[in-house]
Amino acid sequence: MADFLEEFAAALDGRLGTGPDAALSRELKNPLLDLARVVAHSTERKNAPLATFIAGRYVELRRAQGADDMTAIGEVAEAAEKLLPAEGD
């Protein structure tokens, strides 16, 4: 059975009639999951999915400006680190 995220991305791509644009690369999965975990444990849990949505929008906007995904997700992590308490605090 295929991975849920792959199936979900393919279903969304099908709605757009495009190629595999919605697919999430392996390189982006862990930073986004890390962001969700830190946000969920440092703020109200409900902020985690919304923070990852905002992060995804940011990455798309940075991509439109010419940045690569990993640079943009690094910027997301940096912004989150400045706003959230250090883990273990």
62 in a structural domain:
yes
Checking if the pLDDT of 80 tops 90, the result is yes
59 in a structural domain:
yes
- Residue 85 is predicted with a pLDDT of 81
16 in a structural domain:
no
Checking if the pLDDT of 62 tops 50, the result is yes
86 in a structural domain:
yes
pTM: 0.82
More confident position, 87 or 6: 6
Domain extent at residue 31: 25-89
Give mean pLDDT, residues 4-29: 83
What is the rounded CA–CA span in Å between residue 14 and residue 18? 7
How many structural domains are present in the chain? 1
Confidence band, pLDDT 50/70/90 cuts, at residue 1: very low
